[in-house]
Amino acid sequence: MWDFSTEPEFQAKLDWVDQFCREKVEPLEYVFPYAVRSPDPVVKAYVRELQQEVKNQGLWAIFLDHELGGPGYGQLKLGLLNEVIGRYPSAPQMFGAAAPDTGNMEMLAAYGTPEQKKRWLEPLLNQDMFSAYSMTEPQGGSDPNLFKTHAVRDGDDWVINGEKWFTSAGRVADILFVMCTNGMFVVPRKTPGVEIQPEPRNHNHIIYRDVRVPRDHLLGPEDGAKVLAQRRLGGGRIHHAMRTIAQCKLAFDMMCERALSRESHGKIIGEHQMVQEKIAESYASIRMLRLFVLETAWKIDSTSTQEARTDIAAVKFTMARVLQEVSFNALHILGSLGTTDLTPIQAMYAGAPTMGIADGVDEVHKATVARRVLQGYRPHEGYWPTEYYPAKREDAWKKMQPILDRRPDLAQSAENYKKYFGRRTR
């Protein structure tokens, strides 16, 4: 059990990750952007060298449990690792733990046949292949009850027809995990009939027109797409939250550094109360989000993703709000510089609303949390709520009466108290 401290052995791992990211991963980002996907064999070889260092530390594919072939750290330790990795855009890929591949690999590891794992999971783990998740649709958003994309059996094949919207990284993926009304299918991107539209560029609009794939491209059971999707998205949401903490801390570090570096109206801006208010509120928001995320991760480790789904949903909409608030505060403290693309702040603030939409809009998660929380309550009887003072006072006298009957002295004191408070309420 985690008790607000980390055992020395794992802390040493965290320290190694922090140093590795600062000294090797971050410089690589600026010299060779998108190095992990670089076609240059020299750059690719150097990336492999760095990734081997990660593997030597036992930190490769840290999101996978033991039974799925990973190191099995559990969600809480994964959260602590992501607090470091999430600060650097390319670090998750350097650790074999970048979305959308992570969720897709989890589905393959949990539901794939041995042959499917050999064909797709191993190349994904080795980054010899990349994937995308093709779920949401133009007319239905992320509500699977409104989906229309459907697969029809034709001999030894499945034929898929439909339209998907916001398939992130679909244009550069080797395989697409396509959620149909009757199953989850693995579709190679170059399959005839996969039509990737020119816009949007990064979150792709894809039309599947008579796309034919072999029967063994069905992942999991027929009609099992919703179960697979929940398995994938539940973990994805908590992992997003873990990385969001890192982004909030980065924004916070920038605002505090700025507050001590610039002057306004004759004093350091950190001495102005409005700036102090932003720093104090940001600090408290980050600390509360972090504790909430780590507690939820601990619950997952102690029970399951399914059992912790109320907290996962609550974490999901909370992280978007905190990122928006903290990045907004940092942007203001940085002033005009914060509005440019010369620091990470503008991208953080612009990306915060996306965090409230990706993996299900916040409004849906709030409704889910409210419904699930209300299942633990019952309506009160009669006109008055449980905490209605006159009713509670009357009930208290009934409960105390047997004692007062045996203790005349205590009964007299009770009457005196009753008269005293009776006079006060007039």
Question: In Å, what is the CA distance from 274 to each residue of 64, 270, 279, 331?
Answer: 44, 9, 9, 14
Model confidence at 297: pLDDT above 60: yes
Element (H, E) at 111: helix 101-111
Within-domain flag for 381: no
Are residues 326 and 242 part of one domain?
Answer: yes
Within-domain flag for 379: no
Query: Residue 407 is part of which domain span?
Result: 389-424
User: pLDDT tens digit string along 377-410?
Assistant: 999 999 999 999 999 999 999 999 999 999 999 9
Residue 258: which pLDDT band, with cuts at 50, 70 and 90?
very high
pLDDT reported for residue 234: 65
Q: Taking residues 27-46, report their average pLDDT.
A: 95
Are residues 416 and 344 part of one domain?
Answer: no
| Residues ≥6 apart with Cβ < 8 Å to 197 | 204, 205, 206, 207
pLDDT reported for residue 378: 95
- What CATH number should be reported for the domain holding residue 241? 1.20.140.10
Are residues 186 and 140 part of one domain?
Answer: yes
pLDDT reported for residue 424: 76
- Going through 136-202 in order, the beta strands assigned E by DSSP cover 150-154, 157-168, 175-180, 183-188, 194-196
User: pLDDT tens digit string along 401-414?
Assistant: 999 999 999 999 99
Within-domain flag for 112: no
Give the domain-ending residue among 99, 114, 143: 99
pLDDT reported for residue 141: 86
Q: How far is CA 155 from the centre of its chain?
A: 40
Instruction: Please state the length of the chain.
Output: 426
Percent above pLDDT 90 for the chain: 83
Whole-angstrom distance between the N-terminal and C-terminal Cα of the chain? 54
State how far the Cα of 123 lies from the Cα of 259, in Å rounded to an integer: 47
Within-domain flag for 384: no
Model confidence at 426: pLDDT above 90: no
Average pLDDT, the chain: 93
pLDDT reported for residue 70: 80
Are residues 203 and 231 part of one domain?
Answer: no
Model confidence at 237: pLDDT above 70: yes
Are residues 40 and 58 part of one domain?
Answer: yes
Are residues 259 and 194 part of one domain?
Answer: no
Model confidence at 361: pLDDT above 90: no
Give the domain-ending residue among 170, 186, 219: 219
Are residues 401 and 332 part of one domain?
Answer: no
Phi, psi of 172 (to 5 degrees): -110, 10
pLDDT reported for residue 306: 85
pLDDT reported for residue 72: 85
State how far the Cα of 322 lies from the Cα of 289, in Å rounded to an integer: 7
The residue behind tokens 């589905």 is 107
Are residues 187 and 80 part of one domain?
Answer: no
Q: Which range has the worst mean pLDDT, 81-90, 334-343, 354-363? A: 354-363
**The one-letter amino acid at 188:** P
Model confidence at 359: pLDDT above 90: no
Task: Name residue 185's beta-bridge partners.
Answer: 178, 218
State how far the Cα of 235 lies from the Cα of 271, in Å rounded to an integer: 42
Within-domain flag for 263: yes
Residue 1: which pLDDT band, with cuts at 50, 70 and 90?
low
For the chain, give percent helix, strand, coil, nearest 5: 60, 15, 30
pLDDT reported for residue 121: 95
Residue 205: which pLDDT band, with cuts at 50, 70 and 90?
very high
Residue 2: which pLDDT band, with cuts at 50, 70 and 90?
low
Give the domain-ending residue among 200, 219, 238: 219
314 with 369: CB under 8 angstroms?
A: yes
State how far the Cα of 285 lies from the Cα of 358, in Å rounded to an integer: 21
- What CATH number should be reported for the domain holding residue 181? 2.40.110.10
Q: Taking residues 55-77, report their average pLDDT.
A: 87
CB-count exposure of residue 139 (10 Å: 0-12, 13-18, 19+): exposed
State how many domains the chain has: 4
Q: Which residues of 111-132 are buried (b: 16+ CB within 10 A; e: fewer)?
A: bbeeebbebbbeebbebebbbb
Within-domain flag for 115: no
Percent above pLDDT 70 for the chain: 99
Phi, psi of 165 (to 5 degrees): -130, 135
Of 84, 71, 117, the C-alpha closest to 12 is: 84
Are residues 238 and 273 part of one domain?
Answer: yes
Are residues 257 and 286 part of one domain?
Answer: yes
User: pLDDT tens digit string along 107-155?
Assistant: 999 999 999 999 999 999 999 999 999 999 999 888 889 999 999 999 9
Model confidence at 57: pLDDT above 90: yes
Are residues 180 and 310 part of one domain?
Answer: no
